Amino acid sequence: MEEKNNRLPIYETEGIVIHGRGNGKLLGMPTANLKIEDDMKLPKSGVYISRIYLDEQIFYGVTHIGRRPTIDDGKDISFETHILNFNKDIYGQKLKVQLFSKIRSIKRFAKLSSLFDQIKKDCAIAQEYWGIK
């Protein structure tokens, strides 16, 4: 446990959780969407292993930064985090999200189900990184 808490993040931000489209929630993988004030300060788009702070508790997850070509033809930049082993309503709450390692680049999937299969793989990578199940 101590080893994973001593890793240094490559990026960190705080924000308020806002409503997204709800696609993740519908498919059993809800995301916390953060309102981003200045996307010029964001790291390169991609999917990252992340650590999340909420109400003085630490959680782990997978964070997507960038456009969503499978969902909406990639028009808007999003910052959304799936928190592993977590399913609570946190709209309006403040999160601190730290990014540690880029898992992959953003890509378009032919079907939404293919995207969610990939997200499950991303989550497995994050779980292995943090040593959790």
Specify whether the CB–CB gap between 81 and 35 falls below 8 A: no
Q: Is the pLDDT of residue 39 over 60?
A: yes
Domains of the chain are 2-130 (2.40.30.30)
d(CA 23, CA 33): 12
Number of neighbouring beta carbons within 10 Å of residue 130: 21
Q: Is the pLDDT of residue 1 over 50?
A: no
Q: Is the pLDDT of residue 74 over 70?
A: no
Specify whether the CB–CB gap between 128 and 101 falls below 8 A: no
In the prediction, which pLDDT does 23 show?
A: 73
Dump pLDDT digits (tens) for 47-60. 999 999 999 999 99
DSSP conformation class of 44: -
